[in-house]
Each structure stands twice: as structure tokens, then as C-alpha cells.
Structure 1
Amino acid sequence: MAVAASAALAQEAAQAPMQRIEVTGSRIPTLNTEGASPITTLTSKDIKIDGPKNTEDLMNNLPQVFASQGAAISNGATGTATVDLRGMGAGRTLVLVNGKRLPSGSALTTAADLNEIPSQLIQRVEVLTGGAGAVYGSGAVAGVVNFIMKDSFEGVEFQANVSGSNHQQHSDEVQAVVNKKGFPLPGNKSFDGKKYDFSLLAGSNFADNKGNATFFVSHKHADALLQSERDYSACSLGASDPGFACSGSGTSIARINSWTPDASGNPRKYVSATDAYNFGPLNFFQRPSDQYNINSTLHYDINENARLYSDFNVHLYTTDAQIAPGGIFYGQQATLSYENPLLNSAWRTALGLNKPGDTATVTVGKRNVEGGPRNSHISDMSFREVLGVKGTIGGGWSYDVFGQFARVNHDDHATGYFSSRLITKALDVVADPKTGKPVCRSVVDGTDPSCVPYNLYTKGGITKEALDYLQAAGTNSGYTQQSVFGINLGNDLGAYGIKLPTAENGVGVSVGYEQRVEKLVLTPDFENQTGDLSGSGGPTVPVAGSYNVKETYGEIKVPLLDNAAFSKHLDLSASYRRSNYSTGSNTNTYGVGIDWQPVEMARVRGSVQRAARAPNIFELYTPQSVQLAGPTDDPCGGEKPKATQAQCANTGLPASLYGKVAENSTNQYNGRTGGNPNVQPETADTVTLGFVLDPMKNLTITVDAFRLKIKDAIQSVNAQSVFQQCLTTGNPLYCKMVHRDSLGSLWLLQSGYVEAGTTNIGSQGTSGVDLGASYRTKLAGLGGLDFTLNGTYVKTYTVENLPGMGEYDCAGLYGPTCNTPTPKWRHKFRTTWSSPYNFDLSLTWRYFDRVKNDMLDANPLLAGELDTKRDAYMASRSFIDLSGTYRFNKKMALSVGINNLLDKDPPIASSSSVGSSYGNGNTYPQVYDSYGRFVYANLTYRF
């Protein structure tokens, strides 16, 4: 369980002689493990108790961590697993391994990929949420996660893990609406979504214990889990007061304008209540994956002042991201002629084709259920090498000189799509002059002899040959590359007599230089670059760029008082970093902190820090393109718009089209996104103030208030917020960013979109309080009990999308604008019984406060018309975990456990409210336990 580092390290200090170490947040080697900024620590024992055997789940269990990319995301998956401290975005959390930064996760994202870090190899994790930009550089705006790995192992250790979900379907509310719709419901699941992994760790000292070589290899496999396997995700929920209803996509059976074929092949009116397609069940709730990790560490003491060290790792991760079938998504425009032999007289009349030579431009849709689902096969292979020398030189100066190189090769291959450029050809059908049979016009005129007609007008009229012609695949490939050179020097200057007469310890200093080069290349094929894959969300544009940064930094820690009245210890610290980027940006980051222990049982700590983050390659160099990145609703659509004609006119809708804009049943609209070479670095001010209390033996309590404010934040403009402001206020600042197409929509044509590109938005920030507690007591003859608590109260979570727009507060909210839930209170409380009978037993309570729909907020930047009262809140959740470990002997141990012991369902909401990229299956599986009861077992054998 995560507790304050000061408490955990103090316990370790009682068991072993103190030595100079480097604690996350400072590069000054010191005997004093306490500091001005709060650090949360997880040990290898905590990791084993938590049960999940991947690093992503381990981090998501911490209250300070918010949802990010992971295995529960299928639509929009990057294939990576990222960590997001304080909800400021994964790109603002710096991830380190043994104090050295990880590279960008893939060619699709610059955030580090936690899949590169096998949980079995972790010795401990240190999480610093107070900001550490001056110590570690760009990326540490919200904090630092430092994974300390096992690198001096002796012996051989084998681990085998197996886990899966056990779930009883008991969502009566959703089962009722699914039954009403006539969709299938799943039965109870005894053990699905299975995962297993095996690892081997081996190490040995050599050269009379001057060196150590440690080797690790592992393989992990995860089975797929579909949304159809849980009752609460058996259909995509829509709004229908007073509760839910099964909704779906308007792209389902063949649809031409408002017509669809009946059983006789004649046109009838499309009825969304019965004809909409249930796209949810085929989406992956848990993506299947295979993962291989190889790690090798080596160190050799050349002499007493120099240690040569190496850290090498290779990581291969493959996964499939499956979503519902593609096809011709409703909105595709096509021109039909009277001469089309697939049209009978009823169809011609319905489409206004009255005589030879007549043509009609129609809106077409047809889900490719005959061809199967869309799938993106993602593969990432990374390797990373760190080589350095560290030790001490004259006068007690510690040094570390290192070089680091890392590269991640990315490939994804998408299948199950139609080619947009071929659709229009396959729909433009005429009679063959020789045979009279239906053929493509492009066959007759010779422009495309391979074309095969696609028959939308008769049920069962689609042939395999037509599918073979239309189906298309797309590939993205690329890589991200990082090289780092660094040198660091540090010392306690007390040896030189540099210390205050009121202090026992000398002044500590650390100085260093670092040079880093970042490069990223993403190369889509023709189909992706042109957006030719129908239903892919828009074109994937090529990205290529690089930059280098040269940085100098320094730290100082000045002990002011030791063993004085009302001051057992009083330290003052400061840090500064200057960064010069090849892109022309120069940043200054700095911080000051105080650590005061007035009496033995109490300590006060605080810090003020300025961090800076320069734009990354995506934010600088991604070309502008229209994607499905627009607002989550257009109340001007449909025959009976929810917005008034005057409001819709604000958004550019002509009066002649009011009530005539095609409604988008999936609430997916276009946004124009991309990078911006003129974007400037963002700055962040972080303030922390807290105290540590040891009021009695074996009891430690930590309370730390925090406030983080990012100014000129580098971010995409929130399209929903911009559109809502234009709709309700008519402010030209926002309305000039809304562009309707010639049909009045924001989705039918590429010319309809809301501007949502990268810029320096106004601001983003959060404030709150972290609470930690740890208590240990002995039970007479029965071992001991440990109680630990880690909780976070979020007071504010504010965003200002554009300068001068005003800000809104998402604390305690979720929904179309705030997206992922931000519970005001979240905690993890654990009780562990360490018995004298070779086994330990732990009970953990994880709690999430309820969240309100942001459209119910009084702030006009959030307020909107809620489609259903059922979406007003996502209820609070408590998850109970039980785990135990039995040690057969010194060599073998077995750990078993059940997370979500009571099989609680996650809170659910309709698809119009669960609109963010981290929403899936009518809930947020990256936030809540969403698969049911999770059962696991771990066998460890050492020899």
C-alpha cells in the first residue's frame, strides 16, 4: 500500500545501516531521506498484494492517478499503457526507470509506455506529485513516477501468474432494456478475460563480488473480452427518460436517404427505433495481447571510486483493437441514375428518378456485417540501453556520467474497412451494353474494369465479389527515438567546512548537464493518408520531426538548524534548470522548499515550484486534418432540433436548413485538429504544504495540500465547449471556429467541422489534499496488523479553453466536456495481518466518490440539456479486495486473491455522456473495475 516515503524509509533505516542514497525529487546524495515534497512509495510486497500483474493496473490503483491509455480501450487505442498524475495529461507525467527517463511510447503518442516495465522486476515505485521540472526537466509538470528495478539479484526466481474474471450478470436495469429491444444477453461467467504470465529472474555476483549480472525474461498473454460478455454493455445505451434505452448507429441495414429495403426489395421508411445497429457488443472490453520483456543489468566495480553499469531491455507488445464492422457510413454521398438496373420502379419513385437521364445525389449508409468487424493489429517493439560510470572522487564528490539510447518501432495494420474512393464506383451502376446485366459504369467506360456493383436495394443482394472489391486495409508505420547524454556531480560540503554553525550537516549541492535528442516519424500508407478507409475517423497524416535540448541544472540544500529549540531539523532547498531547445524555445524552471521538524513527532514540509514544458513533436509538426474530434452533440440536427432556430443560426445553419439536417445517432462530429509550429512552452506553478505526524509508536499520518496551475497550456481546443458557447451566446470568437458543410451538418462532409487544433489554451489546474496514514500493532502470539490509507480529495479541477473565455471546474463531474470522471474523494485503505504461521492476509477497500454530469453544472461553459435524468450522476463505488500469501518454505510461496470480491458492477451512463476516449462499454473501464470479480494466483519459486 502506498504510504509516505518518509515513514516507509524510516522503517527500513531501523533495519540496516544508513548509506548515501538518491531519493526521487532530488539528485543530492544524502543520509537524510526526508524532503520538502511528498513522495508516495510502493514496494514489491505492495505490488504482490495488489494482484494485477501489469504495471498499468498497479498505477491506476493510486488515488493520484487518472485514467489514461490502457488495455480496456479499443476504439482509439494506441496500444500503449500510460500514467496520468493529477489528471493533467499523460504527457505531463515524467516516467523514469532507475532515475533515467523512458522514451516516447510509440509513433502514436509521446507519453511513456508502461508496458516496457515488467511488474515482476520492480523493487519499488516512488511517485512524486509535487512537480520536479527543475530536477528532471520537461515532462515533469504534474510529477514524476520513478520505477526502481531489481539490479543486484543473486539466485534464480521463477514466477507464474494466472488470473481472470468471475461475474454474475445482475444489472436488472440494463437487462430490461436489452430484452425490450430483443438483443441477446450473456449468461454468467465463471472465468473469462483470462491472463497468464511467466517470468524468470536470474543473477549472480562475479569477480570476487566486484560485479553483478542480472537477467530477466517474461511472457504475458491476455485473452479478449467483448462487450457482449457483460449485461451492462450488451447494447450501447441511449437516452430515454426516465431511464435508458438501447440505442445504436444509423449505419446498419442499407439506408438511402430515409429509405431502406423491405423484405420484397421495395423501399420503406427507415425507423431508428427498430433499424439502428447495436454496435457495442463486438467492441473489445479487454484487448487481447501478447507481451515479451527481456531485461539485462550489469555493474562492475573497476575500483573503489568507479562502477561501470549497464541497463538493457527489449520489449515486444502486440494487441488487436476490434470495433464493430465498418462499411459505408451513413453520410456518404453518391449519385444514382434512372438507368441503374438495380432500382425497381418503387425505388426510382422514392428517389425522384422519374425519367431516363434523371440523376439524384443521395446520402447512403450500410454496415458491412457480411464482412466482419474492423480490427487494428498493433505492434510495438522497443529497446533501450543505458551505459554509464558512477562513483566518488576526491573530497566525497559523487558523480554519474551516462549515455542512453532508446527506440520504439511501431506498426499497425487495419482491416475490415471499405475504400471510400471505390464506394462511389460500386454504387454507380448501369446495364452492360452487351449482356444487359448490372455492371459498374467504370467497367463500361474502362476506367476501373475490376469494379463490382454493390446492391443496397435488395436484402441479401450483396455478393462476395462486391465485398472483395470494396474491402480495404491500411498500415501505419514509424518509430520514436531518444538519445541522452548526462553528467551529474553532488556532494555534502560539510567536509569542506561549508555549513552553518547552527546545523550539524553541511550544505548539499548537485550540478549537472544533460543533452537530449528526440525524434519521431509516423508514415501512413496511401489509404490512411487520404482518409480512404470509410469509418476510420478521418485521414492519418504523416508526422516527422526532431529537436534537441541542452540543459544545465543545479540544486542546493542548506541545513539551517539541528537540535535547537522548536527545531530538531530545519532545511531549506532550492533548484534551477535552464533548457535551450533547437526549436527556439528557452525555458527556466526552479523551485524552493522547506523541511521543518519542530519536535520529534511532527514535521512540516512545503515547496513552491515553477515547471515548464516545451511542445512535443506531435504538438509542433502534425499537419492539420479533419477527424472525428468535434463536439459530442449537435442540437440543430434532426427533424425536431433541440436548439432554437436563432441558436442554430449562431452556428452557421441557414434558416432554410433548420429541421432538415441529418441527425447523427452516434454523436460523432468532425473537428479540425493538428499541430502548431508557433505554439509556445507552457508554464506551471506548483505549491505544496503539508505535515507528517508520528503521535505514537508505529503510527504515521501525512497530510499534504497541493495546488497546480498550468498557464498557456499546450492543448487541443475543446470542440464541445467552443460549439456550446457559439450556440448559446453567438460570440464571434467561438462562432468563427464552427464551420458547417453545404448540407448544414458537422459530420456528413469534410467541410463541416469545429476547429480543435493545438494552441496555448488559457489554463488548466487542480488543487486538493492528499491524506496518508500507516499504523502497525502487534497481536500477542498472533503476529501483527498493519493499517495503511492513501486518499486524495480534489477541491478544484479547472480549465480555461481560450484566453478570456472564463474557466470551468470539473471536480466531482464527468460528461461531454469534462469527459473522464474526477471524483472529489478517492481512497485506498488496506489492513494486513502478518501471521506467525507463514502466511499473510490483506483486505483492501477502494472507494470512488460519485460524480455529477457536467451539463447539470451552473457554469454556463458546462451547462446543457441533459438527454436523460438517469445520466445525472454516476454513483459512488466501493470495491473490496482480499488477498493472501502462504510461504511453504524459503524457496516457494503462493499468493492468491480476489479483487472486487462482491462482484460490483461499475457505474454506467449513456453513450452521449460517456463520450471521452477513455469511455468504453457504457462506463469508464480505465477508472472503475468493469469486468466483475477478478481472481488471481501467483506462484514464486527461488533456488
Structure 2
Amino acid sequence: MIRETVLSRSIRLICVGGAALGMQAAWAQQPGAQQPGAQEITEPAPAVARVLVTGSRIASPNAESPSPLQVFTAADIAAAGVTNLQELLQKNPALGTPAISRTNSAFSTASAGVATAELRNLGASRTLVLLNGRRYVSGIPGETAVDLNTIPVDFIERVELLTGGASAVYGSDAVAGVVNIITKKNFTGLAVDAQLGQSEEGDDTKKKLSLTFGTSSADGASNVMGHFGYARQGAVNSRDRDRSALDQISLLAISAAPNPAEAFAAVRPFFSSYAPQGRFFHDTGDYTYDAAGNPIPWSTNGSATAAATGFNRSFYRTIAVPVERYLFATTGSLALGANHNAFFEGNYASTRVSTTIEPYPLGAEDIYPGSGGQVPAEFLVGGVARRNPVVPDYLYSRISDTDGDGLRDYYFTRRMAEVGTRGSTADRDTFRLATGLKGDMFGWNYELYTAYGSTKEAQVSQGQVNVLNFRNALEAITDLEDADGDGNTTEALCRDANARAQGCVPINVFGFNTISPAALQYVTAPGSLATRTTQRLFGGSASGEPWTLPAGPLGVAAGFEWRKEFSSAIPDALTQAGLNAGNATPPVAGSYTVREAYVEARAPLYKERPWLHALNLLAAVRVGDYSTVGNTVSWNVGFEWSPIPDVRVRATRALSTRAPNINELFLPPSQDFPSVIDPCIGVGPATAGPTAEACRADPGVAANIAANGVFTLNQADIQGVSGFNSGNPSLSEEEGRSTTIGVVYTPRAIPMLNRFVFTADYFKVDIADAIVPTDRDFALRGCYGGGGPAFCGLITRRPAAVGANSAGSLDRVDTRVTNTGNKGTEGIDLTVAWADQLGPGRLSTRLAWTHLRSLFETPEPGGPRDEDRGEVGSAMNRALLSLGYRMGQWNLTTNHTYIGESALDDSFLTSAGLAPGSVRVDSKFYHDAQLGYKLRKNVELYFGVDNLLDTNPPPILTGLPSNTTGAETDAGTYDAIGRRYYFGLRMSL
């Protein structure tokens, strides 16, 4: 019997135990099934091979997972036509909305275009991604999440998804489960896959070329493989979709008397009040300029009698960022005698991602923060007030002294269009090398390994300005003394002599395209960011069967691991100081080490008895010693019971741990500009309740109420909230308790159903001492609902009117990371699969369905439980139906993804005065198909369509929770691109 056949049968047992998803999985699981280009190695091998299954380190014949396990095969990847593994995984209902993907990361500062995975919507940091059972270096500085861009899909043999706590077996981060990526082995020959595609709108272009090659020794005992790959996915611009071409906002977000029907009613346009021609405030009002340079009244969104003077940010935004990748992967094994071999694995990925967003919105408070944004129009020179000649007469004649220094002041906002669009180009390089020894000694399987991984990112950004230089350029005077010695005493020059020596040129911000090239060069401030993440591993394991019990051999595994994680992210000096008119982003650096040891056992208790065809007990424990949090303990215990051969009942109970990552521990206060809902909106002098009383106690809010009758915000207030995010070096580990109970039914005795599989699994995860940032909206509700200093200390309001902002409006809402949270989830997974001959061809069907009973978070001890089940991104019901039919040279495969009806976040609705669940979005059904035709045995043409019916995403507009900026929907959950086509060629030599 050949080794690959044994492995195929073992994998089939895995799929029986976990009901793997996929269009062609049932075919791939049959003995002898091959992918194009794969050739079986016909070396002599034992009749029974020991295999490892995700969820256990015990190598044994006919291994089955003690926990729910799902499998994607190489056939599933090929049939989906994906260039990135995330695209396929996201169809699985067990996975949640990814924290980062191409379609939700255009505004990310250090992770745009990264592809992450998270099981059960519990966060990417709680999903452990492994490569061949070993850890993989993170793709995000300061985090543990793996960038799936760095692993070539055509080099993958299968992906095993273990849902449920697995820290006792694999260590920290496996609270929600494990994604174990298994690469191909023992491949001989050359396989080529070339693909082109684009969306129906002509964007989202896709190019892919992969070469996989391998060779083996004459006896098949040694093998080496390699893979070269190139992939490029193009951008999708917001302006190229009608639903996102114009700035808009949900009426619900700004309504004084909201009702559910307003949620999807768009105020369109809802332009930005920061415009390229500028907006200028004087003593009695404001104004702007038309294209001819004439002063005109300001009208952000226009009216029946006035054109819009605001700015459409959506023209510059993107729905999907372009990602380009060069990939190399290799693996090999060298036989060292009959029972031992040396192995190695190598990965290298070079990724380039470009982001583009609208030009920077500059406010005078960015230049003059200490004075609240009051810009001087006059200066004392020799004790005499001298006017800034760049300030036009129209404005100068309408301003007076507003800050008590005896000199005239004004305020302005301006979109820095001359500086250009903001964005960045990030070059990431990920390198990983693992090597070691494994084999069999005295009846025990052993493995010793070491690995090193590194991710580096060099990012160059544009679109920012140097705040200090901009201030110098604004402060111009007439050169009456001919300070520059050019004989001209009527010109404007920068007031500060040192600034002039450094190249300062007066800047004119009054109107369209008024900034001169020289002034532009002086104030422009390109940015940079350099990040580095490294991971060092050394470990070993052994498994065997030391004793034979009456019901069978006792399986035991034990091992150890040492690991060191390091990360740093260093922005340029101006960015660190917040002097480029953007977020103040400090450098972050940190590291930790951990030593761990574990032991695992599988004990057969009964066998071949009435209603006890098999009963096995499983247990594992792992102890760790972290340089940051000290000692940790994880464990799991479970059983497998087969009353008859066709039925298997399984259950596990586990305690998993997750140590805080580097960002959570060491992040200094880092500036952010969040979207929040002010609970004081609409509060008047007579409004009753604790919230109203707490609002009126703030002097700024009281002044606003006195001036307006009720607390009122303008558009600048809504768009101008800042805040700082901070880590916490005093964090401890979080602990997740998980329970899974399931049944597997495989009626082998019934001829028509001998390829039928049914599984049902109940899961529950409860995470205590969860590491969570304080939710800003939660902090606002807590502060103004009786929460006291713990929440109010995070909130800063403006004491009085500042420039365009209102008295009492929110200036800052900060957040910090603590161990005060509680998170959890509960639900049921059902899978059904059947494959058999039907008519002239072979039909394969598979259905997976997840019903979510609960998904919650408690941000603070004793606080209210925030239930996310059934909300956008956490639908109560999700399903994937996969169908495949092969007939002769033709092969048709389809995927049908269902996302159930969902509601907007209940906390948001409550803040808006609406009942939880009162605003809902419809369910969505997406259909993908691929048709393949074999020209000859080793050559296949294929054509595919994603989102076959061009299903539109739900309108989750700006101002609503779960909105993705630029997409006008939740682009991480729903397809925001539309129908896409691709065609390709696969062949093998």
C-alpha cells in the first residue's frame, strides 16, 4: 500500500469527523485522488501510517479529531479560483468578519492590505494560525495575527480548522481555535496555474501566475519542492460605484427625532466642510471663494439658491486597495537511514500595498493649538502692529481682536489639495525558515525543530504638512526694511528670520490653487514608517504508545517549546510629535519570551461491547512561563463514544490562555479620530434623567444649551473628535473556557448513504479577564449615565466655542486596554455532505450551517452585557452550500454563501433612542461558480464568476455602526465590489 493512499484515507476520516467544507472535497478524499500536477510517490511504506490531526499531537493510525474539525483541500482552493486564502476561508460560517482585508483597510496606518482570519468573531489575536503544525511569524507589528498573503495558495495541500480552545496542545492564542495550513509534500514534476480576471465594472483586475515543482530520490525517501508565485489584485475606487460615489450620511445619525426608517435614508450629498478653496471665519460669519477667486457665502451641501461649496471625499477613496505579491516557498526532506530524516521549510513573500484617500483636512487649530485656532492677521514689529499682507481686505475688514492681545485674528479650515492625496506605499517582506529532525526511535515518533521568522515593512506616506513650517509660512509681513536685500520693500516675506534662512515662503490659503510651488515645497512633509517583527522558536515533541490497555494502546505525547517575540514600529520624527497635522503616533517596541511544556494522552476505555463500540478518554495540560505575565496553565479533557460504528459522540472541555501581545502591553498614547455618538445631543434645560443632569453639569454643555436652547452640534463637531489609544504594561493573561459537544453520523451500512456524513456540534466559549480596549461609546454612556470617574476621565469637552466648533462639543475620547472585559460566544454547527455517482457524472454536495445563540462582550466589570448576536457582522444564521458535478472532461463547481438578516448594533440604536433590533438589513445570498474543461489529461481550462447575480451589499451608510469608510457598507462582511470574472489555465508536466 502506498503512503499517499494511506494519508488520503486518514484525511477522509478527518473530514468524516469534522465534515470538511468545499466543492470538490469529497472527490479529493477518495483514495488515489490527485490534483493537477501531483504524482504519487510509490515508495515502499508500512501498511499502516501514523498521522497527526489538528487538535492532537499524538500520532496514531486512523486519527480522528477530538474537537470539531473542518478541512479545505487543494481541490477547494483550485475550484474557488482564489489568489489569497482569506477569500476562501471567509465563506466558512465558522469564521467571523476579518479584522483586516483588502476591502476594509484603506485607512490603516500599518496594516493596509493584510489578510487575517478570526474564528467565531472573537478577534484575530484569539485565532492561532499554524504552518504544518508550527507557529508562523505575525504580519502586523505588535500583534500575533498572521498575514495570509504570505502563504501561496497553490502550495497548500489542505487547511484544517479546529474550532474550540486548543491552548493545551498548541499554546497561547488558540482561544477561539486553530487554523493549521498543511503544505504539499512529495510532489514530483511541474505544475503551472495562470489566471486573469476583473470585475464587471472593469476594475479589481486580477493577475496570477504560479509554478510548483519538485523532485524525489530514486527510492522516494527524500524529496525537495519549490514554488514561485506572482499575484496582483487591482484597486476599486469608491467613485466607480453609484452607492459610494458621493459623500453621504445616514439620516439616523443626525436626526433630532430618529426613527428606524431613517437608517437607510441618505443625506446625499453630505460633503466635508474642509474644502480646497478654504473656509474663513470672521466676527459675524464665514465665507469661501468661487473658482474666479471671488468671496461667496459658504454652503456645505448647497441649497435651492446656492451651489455646494463643500468637498466630496468619496471621489478619492477606495473600496479595495491594490495588493501585489511575489512569493517563494520550499520544503524538503532528506532521509537519514530508514527511520530518521532531516526536513526544512522556507517561505519568502514580498508584498506591496498602496493606499489613497482624500487630501488632508487642515484646521487652524492644527497650526495654533494653544490659541484654539486663532490665526493672527497682525504682528507687533518694533512695537507697532503690522498687517499680514497675504490676508485679503475682505477678511481683514471683518475681523477684530478675539484673544485679547490687541491684534486681529481669524480662523480657517482648508483641504490641502495642492499637497495631494494622502496615502502610502508599503513594502513588506516576510521571511521564515524552519528546520529540524524527525523520525522513529524505540517505537516513539519524535521531532526536534527550530524556526526563525521576520516581517519588515518600509512605508512611505504623502499628503501631510509640517505644522511648524506652515505656521511660519502663515505669519507673513510686508518687507518694509528690505530684510532679504533684494531691493523690493513691497513684497511679503516670512516674519521669522530663522524661518526665512531655512527657506520659508509666505503661503496663501485664500482660494483654489493659491499655494505657490515654493510655499508648497516648504510646508510639505512626507512621512515614513519602519516596522520589524521577529519570531524565534525552538521545540521538540515525542509521541508513542507506552502501554496497551484492554481496549487498545494508550497514546501519549509530550513536548516543549521556547519562543521569543519582538516587534518595533518607528514613524518619522514629525509623525511621532504630531507635527505633520496628523495623528501623533509614538514609536512602539517590545519583546517577550516564553517557555512551555505539555503532555497529552488518549486512553481507550472500552471497545467492542454492547453500546460501547469504542469509548476513549482524552486529556492534555500545558504550563508556560512568560517574561511578561508569569506562569500560565492550560488544559483540556474530553471523550469520544461510539455506541455503534456509524455514530460517534464527542465532547471536550478546555481552559485556554492568551498572553497580551506587544501592542497591548507597550503601546504609548497614540492619537486617533474616532466616530462616536454624543449622549448630550438634544438635552435641554428641562430634560429629565441622569444623563441630562450629567450633561448640564459640564460648563461647556451648559453654555451650548444656553445659546441654542438644546445641546446642538454642527458638522465640524461631528467630524472633529480626537482621542488617544494606550496599552497597559500591567496586563495579565486572559482565560477562555470552552465546551464542545457533538455527534457524527456516517451510515456506512446503507449502500446509498455510505458516502453520507452528518455532524452536529454545540460550542460555547467564555473568556474571563478579556483584554479589551474601553469602548468609546460605552465610556460616554457610562460617564453620562452614572459611571463616574472611571469613564469621565477618558472624556474631554471643549470649554467654549473654538473656531468652527461648538461650546461643550467633544474634543477627545480616549481608550485604554485592560483585563476588565468578558467575551464569549455560543452556537451550533451543522454539516451535511454526500457524494456519489448520479447520472453520467459524479455529484458532490456539502452544506455547512452555523446558528449563533450568543456573541457578547462586557467591557467593564459589572457593566451591561453587550450582545452582538444577530448584528451586522455577526448574523444569527450563516451557511455555505457547495455543489460539484464532474462528467467526462467537464467539471462544474458552485459555492452559495448565505448571510442571515442582521440588525444594527443595539448600543448605537439605544444611544439614538431606538429599540434594539429595530433597524435591520436583509439577508444576502452570494453565488460563485467555476466551469472547467480538460483539454487533455494534464491540461485544464477554467472559467469562473464570483457574485454571479451581482448581489448588492446592504446600505450601511456613513454614520452607522459597521460602516467601512469609502464603501457605504460593511465591506468586511459583504461583497462591496460586485460581479467578477476570471479565466485560467492549469497544466502539469
What's the CA shift string for 1:378-405, capped at 9, x where partnerless? 11101111011001001x1000000111
CA RMSD, 1 decimal: 3.0
Q: Report if aligned partners of 1:376, 1:412 keep a CA contact under 8 Å in 2.
A: yes
For 2:160, the equivalent position in structure 1 comes to 126
CA distance in 1, matches of 2:930, 2:679: 49
Instruction: Determine if the alignment matches structure 1 residue 200 to structure 2 residue 222.
Output: no
Q: Report if aligned partners of 2:633, 2:657 keep a CA contact under 8 Å in 1.
A: yes
Residues 632-711 of structure 1 mapped to structure 2, 5 A cutoff: 632-634=676-678, 636=680, 646-649=693-696, 653-658=700-705, 659=711, 663-664=715-716, 667=719, 669-695=721-747, 696-711=753-768
What's the CA shift string for 1:698-729, capped at 9, x where partnerless? 22111111111111111211111111232344
For 2:8, the equivalent position in structure 1 comes to none
For 1:623, the equivalent position in structure 2 comes to 668
Q: For residue 200 of structure 1, report the CA deviation from its aligned partner.
A: 0.8
What's the CA shift string for 1:168-206, capped at 9, x where partnerless? xxxxxxxxxxxxxxxxxxxxx2x3210101111110002
Q: Report if aligned partners of 1:633, 1:668 keep a CA contact under 8 Å in 2.
A: no
Q: Report if aligned partners of 1:626, 1:671 keep a CA contact under 8 Å in 2.
A: yes
Q: Report if aligned partners of 1:719, 1:754 keep a CA contact under 8 Å in 2.
A: yes
Q: For residue 6 of structure 1, report the CA deviation from its aligned partner.
A: 4.6
- With over 3 angstroms needed to count, the CA separation of the structure-2 counterparts of 1:733 and 1:631, relative to structure 1, is farther
Residues 109-258 of structure 1 mapped to structure 2, 5 A cutoff: 109-166=143-200, 189=201, 191-206=202-217, 208-240=219-251, 242=262, 243-246=265-268, 247-252=270-275, 253-257=277-281
Instruction: Determine if the alignment matches structure 1 residue 260 to structure 2 residue 276.
Output: no
Instruction: Determine if the alignment matches structure 1 residue 488 to structure 2 residue 541.
Output: yes
1:69 counterpart (96, 100, 115): 100
SS of alignment partner, residue 85 of structure 1? coil
Q: For residue 148 of structure 1, report the CA deviation from its aligned partner.
A: 0.6
2:71 counterpart (31, 41, 64): 41
**AA in 2 matched with 1:292:** Y
For 2:896, the equivalent position in structure 1 comes to 845
2:927 counterpart (873, 877, 880): 880
Q: For residue 478 of structure 1, report the CA deviation from its aligned partner.
A: 2.3
- With over 3 angstroms needed to count, the CA separation of the structure-2 counterparts of 1:876 and 1:661, relative to structure 1, is closer
Q: For residue 40 of structure 1, report the CA deviation from its aligned partner.
A: 0.7
1:822 counterpart (869, 874, 884): 874
How many equivalent pairs are there? 897
Q: For residue 451 of structure 1, report the CA deviation from its aligned partner.
A: 2.1
SS of alignment partner, residue 379 of structure 1? strand
Q: Report if aligned partners of 1:910, 1:922 keep a CA contact under 8 Å in 2.
A: yes
- With over 3 angstroms needed to count, the CA separation of the structure-2 counterparts of 1:876 and 1:346, relative to structure 1, is same
- Report which stretch shifted further, 324-333 or 413-422: 324-333
CA distance in 2, matches of 1:248, 1:565: 74
SS of alignment partner, residue 325 of structure 1? coil
**AA in 2 matched with 1:847:** Y
For 1:809, the equivalent position in structure 2 comes to 867
CA distance in 2, matches of 1:26, 1:311: 22
- Greater strand share, structure number: 1
1:796 counterpart (832, 835, 854): 854
- With over 3 angstroms needed to count, the CA separation of the structure-2 counterparts of 1:512 and 1:747, relative to structure 1, is farther
Residues 270-285 of structure 1 mapped to structure 2, 5 A cutoff: 270-273=299-302, 274-285=308-319
- Report which stretch shifted further, 681-690 or 875-884: 875-884
- With over 3 angstroms needed to count, the CA separation of the structure-2 counterparts of 1:346 and 1:215, relative to structure 1, is same
Instruction: Determine if the alignment matches structure 1 residue 15 to structure 2 residue 74.
Output: no
SS of alignment partner, residue 87 of structure 1? coil
Q: Report if aligned partners of 1:711, 1:763 keep a CA contact under 8 Å in 2.
A: yes
Q: Report if aligned partners of 2:55, 2:162 keep a CA contact under 8 Å in 1.
A: yes
SS of alignment partner, residue 203 of structure 2? strand
Q: Report if aligned partners of 2:683, 2:692 keep a CA contact under 8 Å in 1.
A: no
- Report which stretch shifted further, 742-751 or 22-31: 742-751
CA distance in 2, matches of 1:377, 1:10: 42
For 1:390, the equivalent position in structure 2 comes to 438
- With over 3 angstroms needed to count, the CA separation of the structure-2 counterparts of 1:449 and 1:551, relative to structure 1, is closer
Q: Report if aligned partners of 1:327, 1:418 keep a CA contact under 8 Å in 2.
A: no
Instruction: Determine if the alignment matches structure 1 residue 450 to structure 2 residue 508.
Output: no
Residues 69-88 of structure 1 mapped to structure 2, 5 A cutoff: 69-72=100-103, 73-76=105-108, 78-79=111-112, 80-88=114-122
Unmatched segments (≥5 aa) in structure 1? 167-188, 815-820
Instruction: Determine if the alignment matches structure 1 residue 740 to structure 2 residue 802.
Output: no
**AA in 1 matched with 2:634:** T
Q: Report if aligned partners of 1:626, 1:753 keep a CA contact under 8 Å in 2.
A: no
Instruction: Determine if the alignment matches structure 1 residue 786 to structure 2 residue 844.
Output: yes
What's the CA shift string for 1:278-306, capped at 9, x where partnerless? 11221122212210111111101101121
- With over 3 angstroms needed to count, the CA separation of the structure-2 counterparts of 1:144 and 1:642, relative to structure 1, is farther
- With over 3 angstroms needed to count, the CA separation of the structure-2 counterparts of 1:682 and 1:42, relative to structure 1, is same
Q: For residue 650 of structure 1, report the CA deviation from its aligned partner.
A: 5.5
**AA in 2 matched with 1:733:** A
CA distance in 2, matches of 1:484, 1:297: 18
CA distance in 1, matches of 2:60, 2:738: 24
SS of alignment partner, residue 519 of structure 2? helix
- With over 3 angstroms needed to count, the CA separation of the structure-2 counterparts of 1:118 and 1:799, relative to structure 1, is same
CA distance in 2, matches of 1:88, 1:650: 38
Q: Please, what TM-score do these two structures have when normalized by structure 1? A: 0.90
Residues 399-478 of structure 1 mapped to structure 2, 5 A cutoff: 399-433=446-480, 434=482, 435=488, 437=490, 439-443=492-496, 449-478=502-531
Instruction: Determine if the alignment matches structure 1 residue 59 to structure 2 residue 89.
Output: yes
Q: Please, what TM-score do these two structures have when normalized by structure 2? A: 0.86
- With over 3 angstroms needed to count, the CA separation of the structure-2 counterparts of 1:903 and 1:13, relative to structure 1, is closer
Instruction: Determine if the alignment matches structure 1 residue 718 to structure 2 residue 775.
Output: yes
Q: For residue 420 of structure 1, report the CA deviation from its aligned partner.
A: 2.2
CA distance in 1, matches of 2:476, 2:721: 31
Q: Report if aligned partners of 1:334, 1:424 keep a CA contact under 8 Å in 2.
A: no
Q: Report if aligned partners of 1:895, 1:939 keep a CA contact under 8 Å in 2.
A: yes
SS of alignment partner, residue 954 of structure 2? coil
Q: For residue 779 of structure 1, report the CA deviation from its aligned partner.
A: 1.8
**AA in 2 matched with 1:627:** D
Instruction: Determine if the alignment matches structure 1 residue 893 to structure 2 residue 951.
Output: no
- With over 3 angstroms needed to count, the CA separation of the structure-2 counterparts of 1:604 and 1:355, relative to structure 1, is closer
Q: Report if aligned partners of 2:567, 2:590 keep a CA contact under 8 Å in 1.
A: yes
CA distance in 1, matches of 2:804, 2:606: 66
